[in-house]
Amino acid sequence: MKRTAPLYLLIVSIVGLGIFFMLHAGSQLPAPVSPVPIKPVAAASSHPVNVGGSSVATVGKLGGSALAARFTGMKWHESLQLGALMNTRGLMELIALNIGYDMGILSQRIFTMLVIMALVITIMTGPLVTFFEKARQVSRAKLDDAQPA
């Protein structure tokens, strides 16, 4: 007979320890994470760079993952959903950025821009997956309506 862990233990392990890890990693980030450096004009000039970099990163990772999934035989809507899930940057990128900042590889400005990019792209994941799922449902409904009864 297979023995499984109780549900509450799984919930505590996955949710509780995940939250603890995120809080611990977030507490290691430098305190002044602000997109506005000493010169406000320099901050305004970095916004197009941040938007452009985020766009290129999103299109590259989402598109590349979606194309790879499509070549393996998945449907377009499913491959785009997989691409959106693969696009998540999340905690690993924040840890890598923090290490780079601590080692002096990244300046405060570049660090801040990359942290904002990681957070925005990670937050976009849920709405993108929902959007691609709704698009799949709409196309399936159109196919069902087009078929004769």
What's the one-letter identity of residue 113?
M
pTM: 0.62
pLDDT, tens digit, for every residue of 2-42? 566 677 766 766 666 666 666 665 555 555 554 544 444 44
Q: Please state the domain extents for the chain.
A: 40-146
- Structural element, H or E, at residue 100: helix 90-102
